């Protein structure tokens, strides 16, 4: 936010793509601004950097980029006296205010058909979980009024009148509902208070939380929920106690916010996590259609490796060669280097075409350059599962075990190539 730049970073924290507002930053300028210097490695975790890892932040990003463009082009005098950092902070405050004062959710509640997407698999999935004895909970930062409106629409597949909404028939799908949870604090702060929600009017009642559950003795959690299963606030300790769960790994938490849902729940509590990424089908579709181009890229990269190996072999031979032979080999090396440069230029062109097929500016979400992107790094490290929509879980039985795919290190990939040959340097 300090410079008004947008960055795409790989898992090693190298900046691969950079824009200033809507304008691309040249390769030389990008390297000058963000290259590693002696005893200084940028972490991109300072307060002047903001991670964009959720669709919610697209609003902030587009507003910020638009204001940067307006400031740089001198379209509005009042922007001349503001820094990029001040502009971003005010954008963030305005968007936060829109969430807090209800202006966004009020509009959704007025016309849910316009904003909420129905999924035919939702109700069968939740009922299937219930029938199989799987405990299901809803944990949301939204307050009761909006949650009730949205869930009634999803349950009845239409906007319902106030009398039907007050019945909240959708509650039969869940063992526990927590609104106004204040994630990510819900997952880290053990001192947040828990309140009961009266479904009929949304009013709140005090509870003694964990102490009340313990005081109820045997089957305290079940007795506690007999009074009602709708709550506001609290923290993860309340959730695990009400679900009668002893270890975090017994929970599979499904969320679409990489930081507030996946990273915190996995790293701090050890919950199993499933990350929802709506963009995934489009990424996969383009990946499939661009397979031939990707194959060309890998062949060109392999060709560069072979040219480098050949040049190395010539350099080793030069150490014992005569003067005339060395001169001949030097010319060969020069020719190899020229060929390598030609391949590099072609590779850059092909890779740019491949990159642009996914997104004209940012390319693949999971890839930066030839490495995993920073986004991919967090998904791989903190999401046990990831999929395009939650209802995909309904396609698998509750007995299904999801296993990790075998992960290869670079030397494993090298040896798995049918043209590779292992030479044991220690063998006699």
Mean pLDDT of 15-33: 92
Q: Which residue has the higher pLDDT, 405 or 220?
A: 220
426 pLDDT tier (thresholds 50, 70, 90): low
> For position 425, what pLDDT does the model report?
62
Cβ contacts of residue 121 below 8 Å, gap of 6+? 391, 392, 394, 395
The answer to whether 8 and 18 have CB atoms below 8 angstroms apart is yes
- Please write the tens of the pLDDT for every residue from 239-255: 999 999 988 899 999 99
Supply φ then ψ for residue 275, to 5 degrees. -95, 130
Give first-to-last CA distance, the chain, whole Å.
60
Please, what is the Cα angle at 237 between 233 and 241, to 5 degrees? 105
298 pLDDT tier (thresholds 50, 70, 90): very high
Percentage of the chain exceeding pLDDT 70: 97
Cβ contacts of residue 378 below 8 Å, gap of 6+? 53, 258, 262, 263
In DSSP notation, 151-211 reads HHHHHHTS---HHHHHH-GGGGG-SEEEES--TTGGGT-TT--EEEE-TTT--EEE--HHH
Do you know the residue count of the chain?
428
Mean pLDDT of 165-191: 94
- Please write the tens of the pLDDT for every residue from 119-150: 999 999 999 999 999 999 999 999 999 999 99
* Residue 75 reports pLDDT greater than 80: no
* Residue 25 reports pLDDT greater than 90: yes
- Distance from chain centroid for Cα 302: 31
80 pLDDT tier (thresholds 50, 70, 90): confident
414 pLDDT tier (thresholds 50, 70, 90): confident
> For position 142, what pLDDT does the model report?
92
> For position 427, what pLDDT does the model report?
53
Beta bridge partners of 386: 275
> For position 71, what pLDDT does the model report?
93
What does DSSP assign to residue 404?
Answer: P
pTM of the model: 0.86
* Residue 171 reports pLDDT greater than 60: yes
Place of tokens 């009074």: 227
Sort 60 into a burial class: Cβ within 10 Å, 0-12 / 13-18 / 19+: middle
């Amino acid at each position: 936010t300090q410079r008004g730049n947008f960055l795409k970073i790989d898992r090693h924290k190298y900046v691969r793509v950079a824009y200033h507002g809507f304008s691309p930053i040249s390769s030389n300028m990008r390297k000058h601004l963000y290259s590693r210097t002696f005893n200084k490695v940028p972490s991109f975790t300072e307060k002047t950097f903001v991670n964009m890892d959720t669709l919610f932040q697209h609003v902030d990003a587009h507003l910020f980029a638009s204001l940067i463009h307006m400031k740089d082009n001198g379209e509005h005098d009042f922007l001349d006296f503001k820094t990029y950092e001040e502009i971003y902070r005010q954008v963030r405050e305005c968007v936060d205010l829109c969430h807090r004062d209800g202006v966004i959710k009020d509009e959704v509640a007025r016309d849910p058909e316009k904003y909420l997407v129905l999924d035919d698999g939702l109700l069968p999935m939740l009922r299937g979980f219930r029938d199989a004895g799987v405990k299901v909970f809803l944990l949301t930062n939204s307050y009761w009024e909006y949650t009730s409106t949205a869930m009634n629409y999803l349950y009845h597949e239409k906007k319902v009148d106030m009398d039907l909404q007050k019945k909240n028939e959708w509650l039969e799908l869940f063992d526990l509902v927590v609104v106004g949870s204040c994630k990510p604090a819900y997952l880290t702060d053990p001192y947040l208070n828990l309140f009961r929600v009266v479904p009929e009017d949304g009013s709140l009642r005090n509870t003694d939380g964990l102490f009340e559950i313990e005081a109820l003795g045997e089957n305290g959690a079940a007795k506690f929920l007999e009074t009602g299963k709708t709550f506001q606030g609290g923290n993860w300790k309340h959730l695990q106690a009400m679900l009668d769960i002893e270890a975090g790994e017994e929970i599979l938490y499904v969320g679409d916010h990489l930081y507030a849902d996946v990273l915190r729940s996995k790293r701090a509590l050890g919950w199993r996590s499933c990350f929802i990424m709506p963009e995934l089908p489009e990424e996969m579709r383009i990946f499939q259609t661009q397979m031939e181009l990707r194959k060309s890229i890998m062949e060109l990269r392999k060709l560069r490796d072979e040219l480098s190996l050949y040049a190395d072999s010539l350099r080793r031979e030069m150490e014992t060669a005569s003067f005339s032979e060395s001169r001949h080999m030097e010319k060969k090396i020069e020719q190899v280097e020229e060929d390598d440069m030609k391949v590099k230029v072609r590779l850059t062109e092909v890779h740019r075409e491949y990159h642009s097929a996914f997104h004209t500016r940012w390319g693949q979400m999971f890839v930066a350059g030839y490495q995993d992107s920073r986004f991919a790094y967090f998904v791989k490290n903190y999401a046990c599962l990831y999929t395009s929509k939650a209802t995909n879980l309904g396609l698998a039985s509750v007995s299904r075990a999801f296993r990790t795919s075998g992960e290869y290190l670079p030397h494993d990939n090298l040896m798995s190539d049918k043209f590779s040959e292992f030479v044991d340097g220690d063998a006699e």
